[in-house]
Amino acid sequence: MIPVTQPFLPPKEDYEKKLELIWEKKWLTNNGYYVSNLEKMLESELNVPNLKYVTNGTLALQLAIKALDIQGDIITTPFSFVATTTSILWEKCKPVYVDIDPTTLCINPDKIESAITSNTVAILATHVFGIPCDVEKIEIIAKRHNLKVVYDGAHAFGVTYKGQSIFNYGDISTYSFHATKVFHTVEGGGITCISDELVTKVELLHSFGYFGEDFYLPGINAKATEFHAAMGLCNMKYIKQNLEKRKRISEQYNMMLPKEIQVIHIKENVGYNYAYYPVMFDSEDVLLRVISNLQTKEIQTRRYFYPSLNKLSYITENFDCPISESVSKRILCLPLYVDLDEYIVKEIADIIYSVIEGRN
């Protein structure tokens, strides 16, 4: 079986060595030694301030909404993982969907202003597949209408725009360090805040809202463990070589796949992380035939993201997002991970060729 993704694991002895200190200190959670060190290392590696390591990327989004005191309508993208929407709903806010840009697949900033009402309080945009949103246009709109901006950067680890981290935009940016991500801590997430005041609030919120003996806020438990942080510290040693491997595999796909299918476009001023390899077909029928033919060879793919979030069964209001709805039916993520062999890439490309040419 060829999986669509496969977590990178460091040498087992690297992790076991980290465990020795955990056993020695017997400090398993509550902002321990490894958690603190991982936060500092991530800030340095990504060149970002005020990074707080938390339990997972979904809680990171919820904490971001809570920390910014967002209550009302949040303009967001229909083309993202479901957690982008459910985080809004869990915080008792209303998602308002606007369509996406057909090239970047991120929220289309030219559609945002027409969706703003007196109830609009924020924009929550996703850097889809690690491709940066149009952060400059979004910032102009947000300032004009006094809106908060949260970026879901679950896919964007290591991505830069015009030489700086994509996580330095917006009021708050969030991370996912899930096992399927470019950089992982098995489970985990993070938050970068633009201000010291916000990060202090996030620190309180993620730890029951108390500091010392005093309770300041109605917080929650989103603390990460030393075991997860230790995995992150081990994986950090290999992140540069892993990104290079992912880039090389992506370039192999670029050379081998039929020119008839659409692949993601990376602008020249973007430093990309090759988090995923999505391809877009002319129709859902072609996509389904590709999936079926790859499955016969035990090659997994994923319809990422499907369906368009404005079509979820629990979204009762109608939102007009024809581009997202069309893309979500025709886009497919192909296998991409650091140990993927070139001959598998060629086999995948050959199968896709056979479908497009009508041989399967």
* Amino acid residing at 75: I
Q: At what angle do helices 284-296 and 322-330 cross, to 10 degrees?
A: 20
CA distance 148 to 259: 40
Q: Is the pLDDT of residue 285 over 80?
A: yes
pLDDT at 69: 96
Q: Is the pLDDT of residue 359 over 90?
A: no
- Tell me if the pTM is above 0.75: yes
φ, ψ dihedrals at 53, nearest 5°: -85, 125
If you ran DSSP here, which 8-state letter would residue 309 be given? G
The string of pLDDT tens digits covering residues 10-40 is 999 999 999 999 999 999 999 999 999 999 9
Residue of 181, 201, 245, 329 marked active site: 181
Instruction: Quickly count: other Cβ atoms within 10 Å of residue 327's Cβ.
Output: 23
Query: What tokens does 283 get?
Result: 């129709």
Q: What percent of the chain has pLDDT over 70?
A: 100
pLDDT at 360: 67
Domain borders along the chain are 12-97+105-236, 239-356
Q: Is the pLDDT of residue 208 over 70?
A: yes
CATH number of 239-356: 3.90.1150.10
* Secondary element (H or E) of residue 60: helix 57-67
CA distance 149 to 173: 9
339 pLDDT band, cuts 50/70/90, is very high
∠ CA 18-22-23, nearest 5°, is 115
Indicate if 181 belongs to the active site.
yes
CA distance 232 to 186: 8
CA distance 338 to 26: 34
* Secondary element (H or E) of residue 160: strand 160-161
Query: What tokens does 241 get?
Result: 């070589």
Q: Is the pLDDT of residue 78 over 80?
A: yes
CA distance 93 to 25: 42
Class (C level, CATH) for 12-97+105-236: alpha beta
Residues paired with 12 in a beta bridge: none
Q: What is the mean pLDDT of residues 47-74?
A: 97
